[in-house]
Each structure stands twice: as C-alpha cells, then as structure tokens.
Amino acid sequence: MNLSPREEIDRGINAMQALQRLVPEGGLKNLEKVKGEMDELISPEFEPYFLANAALHLLVVCERCGRCCLEEKGIAVSIDDCRRIARYLDLSLKRFMMDYTRPHELKGELVGSARMLGKKEGEACPFFDSSLPGCRIYSVKPQVCTAALYLSKMNLLTCEEQQKIVTFPICSADEKLRARIANYSLRLDEDAEAKSELKGLFESARSEVELFRLLLRLKGMEIYFGPEKAALLARRLGLARVPEDEELKEAGFLYGATINLLRE
C-alpha cells in the first residue's frame, strides 16, 4: 500500500496517540526524576541523534551479512550476557567465561565486571557461523551486538558536530533504509503543506509527541543499556511496560525523516 506523505504523517500521529494506553491512570509518575536519570545516561545535548539512531535501529532489517561479526575489533560482554549465553549453550558460567571470554581491555569502574569475547582482531567472532550465515547464538547475543546497528556504531559527538546522523558504512541494510527515507523526502518535496507540518511536528508541545519522544528515548535505553535498565525506568514512570518495537516504528520513521529535513 503506497501512502501519500500526508497519510503517513496521519498514521504516525495515530500511532503516537495510541501509546497513551501504556500510561497509568492519573499520568506518568516521577517524570522529572526519571528524565534526570536518562540525562545522566545520555547527555540531553545528544538527544536528537540518540532518538534518531534509536528510530533507525527499529526500522532497519539487518541482512546478517556477517561484516559486523568479522570486522568488529572486540566484543564486550556483561555478566548478564555471559549468564544468558552460558545457559543457552548449556555450560556453567565459569566454563563459559574460561572458554569464550577474556578480561576487558579497559579497567576501572566504567567497565565493572564486563569482559570481552575471546575474539582477536582480524578474526571472526567465535559465534559467527558462515554457513548460517550469521550468529549461532542470535537469540541471546551480547547486548552490544543488539545495539550494533546504530547505537553502538554511532558517534554522538560527530552527529552533534555535523548536525546529521552518521552513516553506517558499507551496510546493505542501512543503504535500503536510507533510500526509503530519501524517497519519502522526495515525495514530501511535492507536498509543501505536509512537509511544513512534519518539520514542526517533533518540536511541538503536543502531548502525544512528548510521550512519543520519551518512549523512543526509553526504547533507545533498552537497545543501548539492555532490557533490565529500560524495564526499571518504565516501572518508575508507572508505565504498563516498555513499548514494543512495532508500536514505535511508524512515528519513528517520521522522526528519522525529520532529522534530514531539519538540515535544509
């Protein structure tokens, strides 16, 4: 079904309004406090790029070409990652740590108990299987691999300096998504009214937009810091749950397209 730019905007707005069902009766709780916690995790100056990268992350479909698993220099794993993967492989945590991980390259508080997968630079990840092709622990892969598409690859500082989202080099999945956004931008050029509305939409104080931005930020936290962190923040807000990816995709697409418009 080919929607006009106007219809896509309406669909996105409807999707944002539908998110209200996650909000408890009486409204969100501890809002300022939770926002403050989020600001500590990702500085607010990077928010537009963090949100856009989170939106793109939801929309892209990784084609599992394996490039990331071959070229990434090192893969950090948290203790939660290790537990989950060890269970999946039917190994004890100790066995998994000894056979598949090594100490983290960095030391100190920031790293905590995180380790690295036993992958050497220039070698494929031990879980990469070229016959699949892809990851043989796909459903339990480390959090950094889940976030790899945009959130761990992006450099927010570069985004801020260049006022645009950094592209993800030589990735067919990324190219397809960018082409979809470029196509939408071209169609918008033929509908000045819709274009002008979209330009102002995410800057507006509409309640559904504010809720969407907050929930997209929460989703970004889930992708970047893991489901436990996001679930905790959602509980503090009194939300029924962290939104599903599908619930954010339609408005997320508009958000991703808007970032391009703002550069014009």
> Which residues make up the interface to ligand SF4 (CB under 6 A)?
62-69, 72, 75, 125, 127-128, 135, 137, 141-142, 145, 149, 171-173
Minimum separation from the CB atom of position 161 to ligand SF4 (A): 24
- Which of 49/128 has CB closer to ligand SF4? 128
| Distance, CA of 232 to CA of 73 (rounded, Å) | 31
Query: Comparing C-alpha atoms, which of 129, 114, 131, 42 is closest to residue 75?
Result: 114
Contact in structure between 128 and 69 (CB atoms under 8 Å)? yes
**Residue 128: phi, psi to the nearest 5?**
-80, 130
Minimum separation from the CB atom of position 15 to ligand SF4 (A): 25
Nearest distance, CB of residue 41 and ligand SF4, angstroms = 23
Quote the least distance from Cβ 166 to ligand SF4, whole Å: 14
Comparison of 28 and 173: residue with beta carbon closer to ligand SF4? 173
Nearer to ligand SF4, 36 or 103 (CB): 103
Residue 184's SS3 state is helix
Q: Which of 38, 72, 262 is nearest to 162 (CA)?
A: 262
Closer to ligand SF4 by Cβ: residue 163 or 172: 172
Q: Which two tokens stand for residue 157?
A: 């500082």
To ligand SF4, the closest distance from the beta carbon of 171 in angstroms equals: 3
**Nearer Cβ to ligand SF4, position 171 or 233?**
171
What is the crossing angle of helices 207-225 and 5-18, to 10°? Answer: 80
Distance from C-alpha of 70 to C-alpha of 129, rounded to nearest angstrom: 10
